[in-house]
Amino acid sequence: MSEFFNPDKETMSQDELRALQTQRMAALLERAYKNPAHKERFDRVGAKPGDFKSLEDLAAFPTMSKVDFRTNYPLGLNLAPRADIREMHQSSGTTGTPVVMPYTEADLAQWGECMARCYRMAGANPGDAVQITPSLGLFNGGFGFYHGARSMGMFIIPASAGNTPRQVALARTFGTRVLGAVVSYATRIMEVLEEEGGELPDLEIGIFGAEVFAPSMKEKIKKGLGIEVYDIYGMTETGGVGTLGMDCSAHDGIHLWEDHYYVEVLDRETGKQVPDGEEGELVVTALTREALPVIRFRTGDLTRVISRDKCSCGRTHIRLDTITGRVDDMLIIKGVNFFPGQVEQALMEIPGVCPHYQIIIEDDDGVKDVRINVEAEEGVTGFTVEKKLKEALGFSPKGDVFKPGELPRQEGKAQRVFFESKKK
């Protein structure tokens, strides 16, 4: 069996990919200019579709953000006739008006193909049992795994979120080989297995996303479940989980599907392209989505280009580093800037520390401090944790060490950062 889902596209040369991206970008800009919202955005900076001759010309076009989605809520940026929309998903909207993503039949097929490539890249085969633990609802996660599994011809167990003992029972009963989940949910499954005793003998592949995935956390999950661990990437604005790509068995960066997406890594302050290897904000253009293709969307995710060379797995698409954090997730305490992902990476490197922790930002009349609580096995001291965090962050945070199971749990996506106000 081929190691690729779509070998012709996954192994295109960089020259072929650039030519295809240029062709698709030109068509996308022409189509978008017919939409009043996009036309107003282009006109504001004096950019016309006819000005685009090469990928370098894209820099003259404006970037997008979540603000554009919210300003044009619910479907003001949609390019497809309403009668052609077959499905929709949306973000939680916890920080404002939700982001709505509509799908035509072609969009669902594109989503399914991108996800199927990810499944195949992880070593999954048609007929394999895949257990989908993200919710199958307005959040896109569960449906992304579902559409990809349908495209692959897999045996789908649509377990959705919650009831972890039942998840374990289902995996044992139906021989789950592939698990799809948010990162933190894998640690909950590990806990239940430890409480009940036993293992998941058929489970070999874990595909995790939706949260920052520190290398040390990957290693904990890999050892804890005895599986190969993959970091999948995608978001509501790009069409959902898996649309952008995933790492392969070489685990040397996230392969981004360049025939479907064009990406730039920009300096957060200047908005200019940074050299390969230098960290910046990822900006995405969706080349093949019909209903609502983003054009130069500022994801807020921080990454860097690892390589544009052919990977040892045979794929030729660009490889990006694991997302290290988000622009809006950066915390500033005592004059030090850091990201929650740095805390996770440091904690998971301490032997005996469990994958459950809290970052509590305390605001005392405008003066901010941080307290980091963590679960750990007997023998791990607060001094050990504090020393490791000081090495990683440059200062010593407050905090306590709790016994395993004492910190609160969430069945779905974990909340890591909490805010407490002590204003009098």
pLDDT digits (tens, 9 = 90+) for 346-367: 888 899 888 888 888 887 756 6
pLDDT at 129 over 60: yes
List pLDDT tens digits, range 66-115: 899 989 999 999 999 999 999 999 986 655 688 999 999 999 999 999 99
Q: What is the pLDDT of residue 12?
A: 97
Predicted local distance difference test score (pLDDT) of residue 413? 66
Of 59, 19, 14, 68, give the one whose Cα is nearest residue 41: 68
Q: Are residues 342 and 299 in the same domain?
A: no
On whether both 250 and 392 belong to a single domain, the answer is no
Q: What letter does residue 64 receive in the DSSP assignment?
A: B
54 and 155 within one domain? yes
Specify whether 175 is located in the same domain as 205: yes
Last residue of a domain, one of 326, 351, 385: 326
Categorize the per-residue pLDDT at 207 as very low, low, confident or very high, splitting at 50, 70 and 90: very high
Instruction: Choose one of 326, 354, 384: the last residue of a domain.
Output: 326
CATH number at residue 359: 3.30.300.30
The CA-based angle 258-57-71, given to 5 degrees, is 80
What is the structure's pLDDT at 2?
67
**DSSP code at position 209:** E
**Residue 218 and residue 338 share a domain:** no
Residue 25: pLDDT band (50, 70, 90) is: very high
Mean pLDDT of 148-153: 98
Q: Considering the chain, what percentage of its residues have pLDDT values greater than 70?
A: 94
Confidence band of 422 (pLDDT split at 50, 70, 90): low
Instruction: Check whether 282 has a pLDDT greater than 90.
Output: yes
**Considering its fold, how many domains does the chain have in total?**
2
Does residue 187 share a domain with residue 167?
A: yes
Residues 342 and 302 in one domain: no
Contacts of 103 (CB under 8 A, 6+ apart): 85, 86, 87, 88, 89, 111, 239, 291
What pLDDT is stored for residue 223 in this prediction?
Answer: 93
159, with CB counted inside 10 A (0-12, 13-18, 19+), is: buried
**pLDDT given at position 182:** 87
Say if CB 178 and CB 129 are below 8 A apart. yes
Same domain membership, residue 170 and residue 86: yes
Round the CA-based radius of gyration of the chain to a whole number and report it.
22
User: Which of helix, strand or coil describes residue 69?
Assistant: helix
Query: 3-class SS at 23?
Result: helix
Compute CA distances 191 → 200, 204, 218, whole Å.
13, 18, 16
Model confidence at 417, pLDDT cuts 50, 70, 90, reads: confident
Are both 371 and 404 inside the same structural domain?
Answer: yes
**pLDDT tens-place string over residues 232-264:** 999 999 999 999 999 999 999 999 999 999 999
Q: Please check whether residues 204 and 302 belong to one and the same domain.
A: yes
3-state helix, strand, coil in the chain (%, to 5): 35, 25, 40
131-137 mean pLDDT: 93
299/382 same-domain check: no
Assess contact for 233 and 289: CB atoms under 8 A: no
pTM of the model: 0.83
* Predicted pLDDT of residue 273: 96
Convert the pLDDT of each residue in 29-79 to its tens digit: 999 999 999 999 999 999 999 999 999 999 999 999 989 998 999 999 999
Same domain, 224 and 361: no
Q: Mean pLDDT of all residues in the chain?
A: 91
pLDDT, residue 93, reads 60
Domain with 47, as residue range(s), is: 1-326
What is the domain-level CATH number for residue 177?
3.40.50.12780
Domain end call among 301, 326, 351: 326
Q: What percentage of the chain has pLDDT greater than the value 90? A: 65
Tokens 């955005």: give the residue: 41
The more confident residue out of 124 and 382 is: 124
pLDDT at 181: 94
